[in-house]
A and B are shown apart, each in its own frame.
Chain A
């Protein structure tokens, strides 16, 4: 497996995805929702 451009992006995406899931589920205090005037719909 050679470390080309594509592989780097994949790794970044993977890490980003993992962080996202951890943040969503394991951080207690994160008020995931702060839609004062934003467009959340959730």
Chain B
């Protein structure tokens, strides 16, 4: 008989709660969203003993049940609503041995909710080093709970935790203190008015203004003779409540915990001094960034080449083994290259998130947020915007999701709006191919050539555009928003490999899921548009072109046929239609098509050009050679010249071309307004910049 126990894992951030979750569930985890809102929901399963399973929810880290952000709201939603499917049979509060005092605040609040509660003291292996001793039995008595000492890092304590969860019915649900002594008259009245509900739950409903089932702040004030209070009085009561809880905690800890100050200092203070230093702090950060980018570039080239070759081989294989026909062509020329175009970015994205994850797990990222905050605020951003901005150099999708921890809505919104300006991996193939076509190979000094300089410049242009737009948005957007910045500076620790690995896996999956389906769909659409045409000209292309060159010796007749066919396909007509719009930028209809299609995903530019030049073609010329030989029909000169090249580079630097990004921005800002604004602004900027560049340079 399988029994299921619902468990909620809750605790302050930085307590290693995630490590405990990972240890319990191993890889039986699922990451999704809470319905309707953009908060991550992490759930997993753990086998306790024969026939008994624990369904574990890792709730968002929070310091208190008094929620000040969307994800903290989720915590109350789950814990207060008995009908919520995640409502726990037992709550496990994870605390870390260095911050027990603060962690216990949340614990005492949970204890007031009538839910069996276990207290985990994590990082217990550090106790000796920090000179901390705790009288566990006494503490258990005073807190009315079961305490499990754990070290997630050393994998200690996990069996005891599992057993305690299984025996949850033995736990007392009595609260550990009476918080309501602070105002007996008010709370007494509340209790009399609603005798059947937990008093603390009622209090939370009033202060948080949340609704559950049939209880809401309004029903409380409407229903009874109970007199509710003004906002400012409520706040004062909350302050009193917090003070009372801490009084209890202080007394309790005084009786049960001892800290030997001698052993308490450590590495943290000395590291902080350097890493936050006015000069060295920035220098070190800059060097770390440089290292990261260089490493990503170097390390990914090998796997990328392999993926490239692999997909090409896959195409060949299918072409050879499947019967000829439109489906096979679609598969070989549209779908496989389309998917390949996504997969090839996985190494870069995974490596970037690997580094970011290590920096976060080690505690260093908080220091970065600290030193960057003031600078970022000049541009209307927050210190916490730095992680999304850096993540944007991999892909904007996880970057936009990473803005969720920015408390100030205006700063968060601005970050979301400008992140797409940062040079994401998808722009790289476009940059690289254009640069190699139009920028000279010469070197300026022995280690820097014009080509790499141009690439670096493009990165700077991306960041510059992000910062300047942020500054403009900040100036012109009048928005009411509280500035409420609190960053915990956790102790430094060596990142746990398992946590980092799971984190990287989840973020990469987000990229694939977010972008993959869209790119696949658009690949199919594009291929079909390019392989079928509305008129006879298309179907009789071979005859027409052969007739045209009947009297001449022509080497590449097949290519000419393909070209003619393409020109008269649906895609060709679309390209011709927009040609007047793009000609002032120096492009022809083929580039026009590539630009349109890269609104699916930027890297599709190169693969579309590849498709455009190889659709129907039997030969294998490299894209570059084909592109180099293209002639601009207007002036007879090479199409991919310097002016056009620069124009294209600037267009791609600024254009909002990623349909997947638009989709995620819509989700995170809950509406179409902001992504539309973003789209219009960025596209206009791209068009104008490209126009000016081309006209000026030609």
Could you tell me which A residues sit within 8 Å of B by CB distance? 1, 4-7, 9-10, 13-14, 16-18, 20-21, 24-25, 28, 31-42
Contact = CB atoms under 8 A, between A and B. Distances in A.
12 contacts: A5-B327, A6-B325, A6-B326, A6-B328, A10-B528, A17-B524, A21-B525, A33-B33, A33-B667, A35-B41, A36-B35, A42-B510
B400 to A, nearest CB: 11
Interface SS, B side? helix
B663 interface: yes
B522 A41 contact: no
Nearest to B55: A37
Closest 7 interchain pairs by CB?
A: A35-B32, A6-B327, A6-B325, A17-B521, A41-B509, A17-B524, A42-B513
Contacts of B85: 36
Interface residues of B, number: 37
Interface in B213-247: none
B663 A41 contact: no
Contacts of A17: 520-522, 524-525
Given A13-B524, A21-B522, A42-B513, A1 B539 contact: yes
A4 B329 CA distance: 14
B327 A25 contact: no
Interface string B508-526: 0110011001101110110
Contacts of B35: 31, 34-36
A31 B36 CA distance: 7
A25 B33 contact: no
B326 A39 contact: no
Interface string B319-363: 000010111101000000000000000000000000000000000
A7 B327 CA distance: 6
A20 B36 contact: no
Contacts of A39: 30-32
B518 A7 contact: no
Contacts of A6: 323, 325-328
B506 interface: yes
Interface of B: 30-36, 41, 43, 85, 323, 325-328, 330, 397, 506, 509-510, 513-514, 517-518, 520-522, 524-525, 528, 539, 659, 662-664, 667, 672
Contacts of B672: 28
A16 B517 CA distance: 12
B36 A41 contact: no
B30 A37 contact: yes
Contacts of B521: 16-18, 20-21
B568 to A, nearest CB: 15
Contact of A14 (B31, B34, B528, B662): B528
B558 to A, nearest CB: 20
A25 B522 contact: no
Given A6-B327, A10-B326, A21 B36 contact: no
A25 B32 CA distance: 21
B32 A41 contact: yes
A16 B539 CA distance: 25
Contacts of B513: 40-42
B569 to A, nearest CB: 13
B524 to A, nearest CB: 4
Given A31-B35, A32-B667, A42-B33, 20 more contacts: A5-B327, A6-B325, A6-B328, A10-B330, A14-B525, A17-B521, A20-B521, A21-B525, A24-B659, A36-B35, A36-B85, A39-B32, A40-B513, A41-B31, A41-B506, A41-B510, A41-B513, A42-B510, A42-B514, A42-B664
A1 B327 CA distance: 13
Contacts of A18: 521, 525
Contacts of B30: 37-39
Contacts of B662: 25
A40 to B, nearest CB: 5
Contacts of B524: 13-14, 16-17
A9 B514 contact: no
A36 B32 CA distance: 7
A10 to B, nearest CB: 5
B663 A25 contact: yes
Given A20-B517, A20-B521, A37 B32 contact: yes
A17 B528 CA distance: 11
Nearest to B40: A41
Contacts of B506: 41
Contacts of A7: 325-327
A25 B328 CA distance: 29
Nearest to B518: A24
Contacts of A33: 33, 667
Of listed A1, A13, A14, A16, residue having the most chain B CB within 10 A: A13
Nearest to B520: A17
A39 B517 CA distance: 15
A41 B503 CA distance: 11
A39 B27 CA distance: 13
Contacts of B539: 1
A1 B32 CA distance: 45
